[in-house]
Amino acid sequence: MCLEYFNKAIKKMDVWDIGLTKLAVAAATLFVITIWPAAMDWVHTVNPWYFLVAMVIFALKPWSRIFEK
């Protein structure tokens, strides 16, 4: 039931809304790692390639939908 609500709400969003939501999440992430020293230490100790692999994995489904026939 909750997913139905969010699916309907997302369909009302345009490209600008989705882009601004992504920027808000990025800003919130930067805020958290700035005010929480343990999070900043963790980010600095993790191999950067893990973040790249995670980005590719998370982007596979949206990109496959964009480029399918």
User: Domain map of the chain by residue range?
Assistant: 2-67
Q: Which of 35, 14, 33 is nearest to 25 (CA)?
A: 33
Q: What is the pTM of this model?
A: 0.73
Per-residue pLDDT tens, the chain, 69 aa: give them.
Answer: 788 888 888 888 899 999 999 999 999 999 999 999 999 999 999 999 999 999 999 999 988 988 886
Q: Angle at CA 54, nearest 5°, toward 46 and 32? A: 60
Q: What is residue 40's predicted lDDT score, i.e. its pLDDT?
A: 94
Q: What is residue 10's predicted lDDT score, i.e. its pLDDT?
A: 86
Q: What is residue 34's predicted lDDT score, i.e. its pLDDT?
A: 95
